[in-house]
Amino acid sequence: MGDLRDNRLTIITGHYGSGKTEFAVNYSIKSLNSYNKVVLADLDIVNPYFRSREKAAFLKNMGIRVIGSSMMNSSMEIPALTADINGAIDDKTSKTIMDIGGDPVGARVLARYSNQISMQGYDMFIVVNANRPETQTVEAVKRYMNNIELSSGLKISGLINNTHLLRSTSIDDLLKGHELCQKVTEDTGIPIVYEVAIRSIADMIKDPSIKIFPIDLYMREDWMS
């Protein structure tokens, strides 16, 4: 796929455990093709593990700046937001990706920035994994979308189908999520912007109407399934 056409300010939300961070990390790396300056702002104040700030050193080497908590330690669970986030939102030369904590409770952190973000213009995507028990129906996904919009004060502009079973994902998983997201699009008018797949699956999808976003698993250690 070619260069990214999303707004330079891109917000990644979703259900708890939908795969936001893995997408955000991959999306940041992809953004290097289109932007000289890429910032990944980790605003996850819900999760104590598997946060993008854990990969800060790795991403810094690639040319991506990671903004985490204002507390230095990556394993802190204190929801301390640094003033750097304001700068990254306002900096018109920066592709800024905001990785938000799961669920409406995680999205609440955005309310503090909603006016500032609205003034800049933005895309807010919701990551959907149809293999998560809480987001298997159109109604459930719509409920999450509605609640995330309510708590963040921002509008969702795109769906990301991220339906997988980690390394045991099959094409059927991706297609199941595709079908679910399509139905959500029919009901809400909000389009599917990306359909995420590990590379082995991505290569097998031939349907050009499916906008495949191939990813590598940066957040999973080799010994994890």
Partner 1 sequence: MAKVLMKGNEAVCEAAIRAGCRYFFGYPITPQNEVPEYMSEKLPKVGGVFLQAESEVAAINMVYGAAGAGGRVMTSSSSPGMALKQEGISYIAGAELPCVIVNMMRGGPGLGSIQPGQADYFQATRGGGNGDYRHIVYAPASIQEMVDILMESFDIADIYRIPVLVLGDGMIGQMMEAVEFKEAIPKELPEKDWITTGTKEKRKPNVINSLYLEPELLYEHNLKLEAKHRLIEENEVRYEATGVEDAEVVCVAYGTTARVVKNAMEELEKEGIKVGLIRPITLWPFPNEAFDKINPKAKGLLTVEMSMGQMIDDVKIASNGRWTTDFHGKSGGLVPSPAGVIDAVKKIIGGGK
Chain residues in the site for partner 1 (CB under 8 A): 16-17, 47-50, 75, 77, 129, 131-133, 164-166, 168, 221-225
Pairing relationship of beta strands 192-198 and 9-14 according to DSSP bridges = unpaired
Ramachandran category for residue 50: left, alpha or beta (phi over 0 → left; psi -120 to 50 → alpha): left
Is 49 or 121 the residue whose CB approaches partner 1 more closely? Answer: 49
Torsion of CA 29, 68, 145, 135, to 10 degrees: 80
HSE, side-chain direction, 13 A CA sphere, residue 129 = 22
DSSP at 191: P
Minimum distance, C-beta of residue 131 to partner 1, in the bound complex (Å): 4
Nearer to partner 1 (CB atom), residue 117 or residue 219: 219
Least Cβ distance, residue 118 to partner 1 (angstroms): 31
Looking at the Cβ atoms of 6 and 195, the one nearer to partner 1 is 195
Coil vs helix vs strand at 81: strand
In the complex, the smallest distance separating the C-beta of residue 103 from partner 1, rounded to whole angstroms, is 10
Q: Whole-number minimum distance, CB 96 to partner 1, in Å?
A: 27
The least CB distance from residue 166 to partner 1, in Å, is 6
- The DSSP letter of residue 167 is B
In the complex with partner 1, the residue whose CB is nearer, 37 or 143, is: 143
Q: Are 44 and 51 in contact (CB under 8 A)?
A: yes
Residue 9, helix vs strand vs coil: strand
Q: How far is the CB of 69 from partner 1 (least distance, A)?
A: 13
Pick between residue 37 and residue 132 the one whose CB is nearest to partner 1: 132
Instruction: Decide whether 2 or 49 has the Cβ nearer to partner 1.
Output: 49
SS3 68: coil
Q: For 29, how many CA atoms within 13 A lie in the half-sphere containing its CB?
A: 18
